[in-house]
Amino acid sequence: MRLHRFVAAFMLFWFGGVSVGLVSFSVAALRGQMVPLQALLIPLGMLLFGILLTTCSFWWEAKKAKPFLIELFKGIEQQPAINSRGVENRNSKIAVFGRNILAILLCVVAVIFVNVSIRYGTDYIYSRFRATGLTPNLPYVGERVGKAALVDVYLMPFEGFPDATAGQIANILSKELNINIKTTPGVAIPPGKFDEKRKQYIGELMGDPIAQIIVRMDGTSSKTAYIGLLNADMYPSDSNWNYMFSKHFARRISVVAAGRLIPSGFISREEAAKLYGTRLLKLVKRAIGQQYFDMPRS
- Per-residue pLDDT, averaged over 22-43, amounts to 62
| pLDDT of 264 strictly over 60 | yes
* Within-domain flag for 297: no
Task: List 158's β-bridge partners, or say none.
Answer: 187
295 Cβ partners below 8 Å, 6+ apart?
Answer: 289
Say if residue 163 is in the same domain as residue 97.
Answer: no
* Within-domain flag for 56: yes
Q: Check residue 118 and give its pLDDT.
A: 64
Mind listing the pLDDT tens digit for each residue in 211-222? 999 988 988 999
Say if residue 114 is in the same domain as residue 225.
Answer: no
Say if residue 159 is in the same domain as residue 121.
Answer: no
* More confident call, 140 vs 213: 213
Say if residue 117 is in the same domain as residue 232.
Answer: no
Say if residue 198 is in the same domain as residue 262.
Answer: yes
* More confident call, 86 vs 266: 266
- Range of 275's domain? 153-291
* Within-domain flag for 137: no
- The answer to whether 225 and 292 are in contact (CB under 8 A) is yes
Mind listing the pLDDT tens digit for each residue in 231-244? 999 999 989 999 99
- Per-residue pLDDT, averaged over 40-64, amounts to 76
| pLDDT of 85 strictly over 60 | no
Distance CA 18, CA 108 (A): 13
* Within-domain flag for 89: yes
* Within-domain flag for 145: no
Q: What is the CATH number of the domain that holds 258?
A: 3.40.390.10
203: enclosing H helix or E strand = none
* Within-domain flag for 162: yes
Distance CA 79, CA 82 (A): 9
Of 103-107, 122-126, 184-188, highest mean pLDDT: 184-188
Say if residue 52 is in the same domain as residue 128.
Answer: yes
- The answer to whether 164 and 134 are in contact (CB under 8 A) is no
**Residues composing the chain:** 298
Say if residue 123 is in the same domain as residue 192.
Answer: no
Q: For residue 29, which of 116, 110, 129 has the smallest C-alpha distance?
A: 116
* Within-domain flag for 48: yes
Distance CA 149, CA 23 (A): 57
| pLDDT of 20 strictly over 90 | no
Total domains in the fold of the chain: 2
Whole-prediction pTM value?
Answer: 0.65
